[in-house]
Structure 1
Amino acid sequence: MGSLRTAGTAQRLALPETSSTYLLQELKMIWDEVGQEENERERILEELEQECQEVYRRKVNSANMSRIQLHQALAESEAEFTNLLLSLGERSFPGRPEKMNGTLKEQLNSITPALQEMQMKKEARLKQFTEVQTEVQRIASEIAGRSENEVVTVNEDDLSLKKLEEHQSELQRLKREKGDHLCKVEEYKVLICNFAKIMGMDPSNVLASVHPSLLIGANEQQKKNISDDILNKLNTMVQQLKEEKNHRLEKLHSLGKALTNLWNILDTTMEERQPYGQINIFSLTSANGMLGPGSLRLEKIQQIESEVQRLDQLKASKMKELFIKKKAEIEEICKISHMDVPYQTEMDNIMELIMSGDVDHDNLLKTMDGYIYKTKEEATSRKEIMDKVEKWITSCDEERWLEEYSRDERRYSVSRGAHRHLKRAERARIIANKIPD
C-alpha cells in the first residue's frame, strides 16, 4: 500500500496541475487506491461536469454582456456625437470616421477621440455662452435695477455660433444702453451740482437723497445704480431744483425792485446801498443767465428780504410825513389857482388808513401823485381865466382910483408928486377903456 501511495504521489508531481485530464486521471488513481465505489465515482463525476457547465455558462454570459455593453456604448457614442453636432450647429466633423469597420472595440476606439474632441468643443462653447449670458444678465440687471443673484441657465440644446452671435449682439446693445445711462447720470449729476452750488446747497447731500451710489467716483462707474428708476428720480430732482432756482430768482427780482423803490423813496445814501449792490445785477439776470456759486443762497435772499422789511417799516413811519407834504403841495396849487381843494374826503380817508397802519404805501404814493397831477392839470386849464380875472380886477381898481382922482378938486394944484398922479390918471383911463361892458 505504501508503495502505491508513493508511486501515485510521484505521478501527481509529474502531471501538470492545470490540465483537467491529468487531474481527472489523478482523481481515478486516488479512487483506485482508496477503493472508491463506482456509484460514488459516477456521482462525483456528474457533479464535476455540472460545475464545469456552470463555469462555462457564466463565462459565456459574461462575454455576451460585454458584447451588449460594447454595442450600447458604441450606440450611445454615436448618438452623443450626433447630438453634439446638432447642439453646436455643425453638419459634420472632420475627425469622425466615415465608415465603422472592425470589431466592436475597434469601432468604439475609432469614434472615441472624435467624441472627446467634440465634448471639449462643447465645453468651450458652453463656457462662452455662460460668460456672455452672465454679462448680459448683469448689465440688464443694472439697467432694470434688479439684484444680480439670479443663476444663469444656458440652453445646451442650441450652442450654435449663430445663437452665440445673437447673445453677443444683445450684449453690445446693452453695453451701449449702459453707456447712455452712465452719460445721462453724469449729465444729471452735473446739473444737480450746478443748481445746488448756485443755491448754496451741498451737492453730496442732494445726490445722496436720490441714491447713495451716486456719490461713487467716476472711476467706479460699474458700481453705480444706473437703472431707469434712478434716471427718473434724477430727472425729477433736476426739475425740482430748476423750479426752486427760478422761484428764488423771481423772488430776488421782486426784492430787487422793492429795494430800489424803497431806496428812491427814502433817499438812501450810496454807502447804505453798497452791501446790497449785487442785488441789481441779480435782478437783471434771466433764468438762463450765468450765476455764481451761492448767488441764490437762501440766507442771502432772507437777508435782502429782512432789509426790505426794515426799509418798508421805515417808509411806513415816514409815510405820514410824505402824505402831509404832498397834501400841502396840492393845497398850495389850489391856493395859487384860487381853487377849492379837491379830493378832500379821499385824503381824509387816506390819513385814517395811515394812522391805522392798514395801507399799501406804494398805492398811496401813486394815488397822491395822481391827485397832484390832476390838480396841476386843473390849475393849468384855469390859468388863462385867472389871468383875465386878475387883469379885470386890476382894471377895476384903476377905474375906481380914477373916479376918486376925478372928484379930487386939488388934482390940478401944483404940488410935489402931482405929475405922477397925472401919469397914473392917464394910464388908468387907458386901462378903464379896455374893460369890457
Structure 2
Amino acid sequence: MPNLENDPILQVETTCGSLLYELQIIWDEVGESDPERDKMLLELEQECLEVYRRKVDQANKNRAQIRQTIAEIEAELAAICSAMGERPVHIRQSDQNLGSLKGELRAILPQVEEMRKRKCDRSNQFIEVLEQIHQIRSEIYRSTAYTPSNTVVDETDLSLKKLEELHRELQALQKEKSDRLTQVLDHLNTLNSLCLVLGVDFQQTVNEVHSSLSKSEGTKNICNDTIEQLAATIQRLQEVKIQRMQQLQDLATSMLELWNLMDTPVAEQQMFQKVTCNIVASEHEITEPNMLSINFINYVEAEVSRLEELKARKMKEIVLKKMSELEEICRKTHMIPEPEDSMEFAIEAIESAVDPSSILEQIELRIAKVKEEAFSRKEILEKVEKWMVACEEECWLEEYCRDENRYNAGRGAHLTLKRAEKARTLVNKLPGTVHHT
C-alpha cells in the first residue's frame, strides 16, 4: 500500500476527494438539483484541466529553453574550439550518465566557462601582439596615427598558428625598426661630424629634419621621409665640405707660394700649419672641428690677402732676389746668361712701370729652364767641376814644389804632405779627364 506521506499525487487525490465529499454535503444541505450539481462538477473539471494545461505548457517551454540554451552553448563551444584551432568538445558523447537536460546543462557550463576564459586569454595575446605591430608600423610608415582603441582582433581565427604568424611578422618589423634606427643613428653621427668640421649648429640642422632627432632621449622618428631627408642633408653638407675644402686648399697653395716667395719666418708659418698640412688631404681626412667653417676660411683668406699686399710692396726686392738666384745658377752651371737675365735689365723693367708680377713670372720660367738645362748637362758639369778642382790642385802643387821649406818639420807638415800626394794623383788624371770630356 503506497505511503500517503511520501506520494504527493496521493495526497492531492485524498485532498480533492475530501473536498468533493464536503461539497456534496453542502449541496445536500442546500438542496442543489442533480443538473446543477453535474454542471458545477463539469466546470470544476474544466478548471482543473486548464490548470494542468498551463503547467504542461510551462514545462514544455522550460524544456525548450533548456534545450535551446544547451544548443547555443554547444554552438558557442564549437565556435570557440574552431576559432582556437582545437578539436570540439562533445559533452553528450563523453558522458552517458547525464540523465536529464539539466544534467547536460550542468556538465557543459564549466566547459564553456573554461573555453571562454581561454579564448579571452588568447584574444589578449592577439591584442598585445597586434598593438605592437600597429605601433611599429606607425613608427616606420607614419601612415595613420596609432591609438590602442584601433586594434581589432579577428575572433574567428585565434589559433596558435595565426598567433605564430603574427609573432613572426612582429619580429620582422622589430628587426626593420632596429635596422632603421641604426641607419638613423649612423646618419646622425655622420651629420654631427660634418657640422663640427663646417662649424654648423648640429641641433638646429637635425631639428629642421625632425624635432625628435635633436633630443638625446626619447623615440626618434625612423620613417622613410626622415631617413631620406637625413641622407639629402648629409649629401648637401658633403658638397659644401668639398667646396670649402677646395677653397681652403687653394688658399693654402697660395699661402705656401707667398711664403716661399718672401721667405716668411717659420714662426709666422706655424700659425697656419694646420692649413698647409691639409693641402693634399682627401675629404674624409679633414675632421678637425671648425676646420672648414666660414669664419676660419675668412681668417685664412684675410691672411692670404695680407700676404698679397705685402708681396705687392716687396715685389721689387723679390724680383732682384730672384734675378740674383738666376745669376748664381748660371754661374754654378757655367752657362752664359741671356741679355734679359741681367740685373740691370730687371731694374730698368721695374722702373719703367712694367708689372713686377709679369717680370717675376718670366724670371721663374727662366730659372726653371736653366735648371732643366743644367740637369741635362749634369754629367758634363760634374766632369768640368772635377777638372777645375784638379786645376786648382795643380796650381797649389806647383807653388808647393817651389817652396824650399816644404820638407821642414813643423806643425801640420804631415797634412800638407798628404794633400800634395792627393794633388799629384788628381794632376796625373788630368789628361784622361780632358780626353773623356
TM-score if structure 1 supplies the norm length? 0.66
Aligned counterpart, 1:152: 151
SS at match of 2:271: helix
Distance 2:178 2:241 in 1: 30
Amino acid at match of 2:159: S
Distance 1:255 1:67, change over 3 A: same
Change over 3 Å in CA distance of 1:24–1:315 after alignment to 2 = farther
Map of 2:201 onto structure 1? 202
| Shift in Å, 1:128 | 1.1
SS in 1 for 2:70: helix
Q: Which moves more between the two structures, 40-49 or 205-214? A: 40-49
The structure having more radius of gyration, on CA atoms, is 1
User: Given residue 55 of structure 2, which amino acid in structure 1 is its aligned partner?
Assistant: K
Match of 2:288 among 286, 292, 297: 292
Amino acid at match of 1:148: Y
Corresponding residue of 1:383 = none
- Report what 2:187 is aligned to: 188
Match of 1:231 in 2: 227
* Letter aligned with residue 140 of structure 2: I
2:76 is aligned to: 80
TM-aligned CA distance change 1:334 to 1:57, over 3 Å: same
The answer to whether the 8 A contact 2:207-2:213 is kept is yes
Q: In 1, are the aligned partners of 2:213 and 2:221 still within 8 Å (CA)?
A: yes
In structure 1, the residue matched to 2:213 is 214
Change (3 A) 1:374 1:133: closer
- Opposite residue 107 of structure 2, the aligned amino acid is S
Q: CA deviation at 1:319?
A: 5.9
> Which amino acid in 1 is paired with 2:208?
S
Partner SS state of residue 301, structure 1 = helix
Q: Distance in 2 between matches of 1:172 and 1:376?
A: 73
Letter in 2 for 1:200: G
Change beyond 3 A, Cα 1:336–1:260 = closer
What secondary structure sits across from 1:279 in the alignment? helix
Q: 1:105 aligns with which of 96, 102, 105?
A: 102
* Cα gap change, 1:300 to 1:375, in 2 (>3 Å): closer
Report if the CA contact (8 A) 2:258-2:307 is conserved. Answer: yes
**Number of aligned residues:** 345
Q: How far has the Cα of 1:299 moved from its partner?
A: 0.7
Aligned to 1:277: 273
Q: 1:261 aligns with which of 257, 262, 271?
A: 257
Contact 1:195–1:241 (Cα < 8 Å) also in 2: yes
Unaligned runs of 5+ in 2: 1-11, 328-336, 373-437
Q: Residues 72, 335 of structure 1: CA spacing in aligned structure 2 closer, same or farther, 3 A cutoff? A: closer
Q: CA deviation at 1:165?
A: 0.8
One-letter amino acid of the structure 2 residue matched with residue 283 of structure 1: I
Report the AA paired with residue 147 of structure 2.
N
Aligned to 1:366: 361
Structure 1 residues 309 and 30: CA distance shift in structure 2, 3 A: farther
Within the alignment, does 1:19 sit opposite 2:15 as a pair? yes
Change (3 A) 1:38 1:193: same
Q: CA deviation at 1:255?
A: 0.9
* 8 Å Cα contact 2:77/2:88 also seen in 1: no
Secondary structure in 1 matching 2:291: coil
Distance across 2 between alignment mates of 1:86 and 1:103: 27
CA gap 1:236/1:96 in 2 versus in 1, 3 angstroms: farther
Q: For 1:103-136, what per-residue CA distance to the aligned partner results, in whole angstroms no more than 9, with x for missing partners?
A: 1112222222222222222111111111111111
Instruction: Give yes or no for contact 2:193–2:287 (8 Å, CA) kept in 1.
Output: no
Deviation digits for residues 20-53 of structure 1, max 9, x if unmatched? 4444555555566666787776665555444333
> Residue 54 of structure 1 corresponds to which residue in structure 2?
50
Aligned 8 A contact 1:74 1:108 in 2 = yes
Deviation (angstroms), 1:256: 0.6
Structure 1 residues 199-251: Cα deviation after superposition (integer angstroms, max 9, x where no partner): 22232222222211113336x4xx22122222222222222222222222111
Equivalent-residue separation in structure 2 for 1:170 and 1:77 (angstroms): 34
Secondary structure in structure 2 of the residue aligned to 1:288: helix
Give, as a single letter, the amino acid of the residue that structure 2 aligns with 1:191. Answer: T
Q: What is the distance in 2 between the residues matched to 1:247 and 1:334?
A: 45
| Aligned residue type for 2:153 | V
C-alpha change, 1:142 and 1:363, in structure 2 (3 Å) is farther
CA root-mean-square deviation: 4.1
User: Are the equivalent residues in 2 in contact too, given 1:70–1:104 (CA < 8 A)?
Assistant: yes
What amino acid does structure 1 have at the position aligned with 2:226? I
* Among 133, 136, 139, the residue aligned to 1:136: 133
Tell me, in whole angstroms, the C-alpha distance in 1 between the residues paired with 2:230 and 2:202.
13
Matching residue of 1:432: none
Shift of 1:324: 10
Tell me the secondary structure at the aligned position of residue 172 of structure 2: helix
Q: Amino acid of the residue matched to residue 197 of structure 2?
A: I
Q: Which residue of 2 aligns with 1:413?
A: none
Change beyond 3 A, Cα 1:95–1:67 = closer
Q: 1:180 to 1:125 in 2, by over 3 A?
A: same
Note the alpha carbon deviations across 1:331-368, whole angstroms, 9 max, x for none. Answer: x954899xxx9xx9xx99x968x6xxxxxx97774356
Distance 1:333 1:113, change over 3 A: same
Distance in 1 (alpha carbons) for counterparts of 2:295 and 2:173: 46
User: How many Å apart are 1:81 and its aligned residue?
Assistant: 2.0
Alignment deviations for residues 167-213 of structure 1 (CA, whole Å, 9 cap, x no partner):
11111111111111121121111111111112222322222222111
The one-letter code sitting in structure 1 at the alignment partner of 2:65 is Q
Match of 1:114 in 2: 111
* 3-state SS of paired residue (1:285): coil
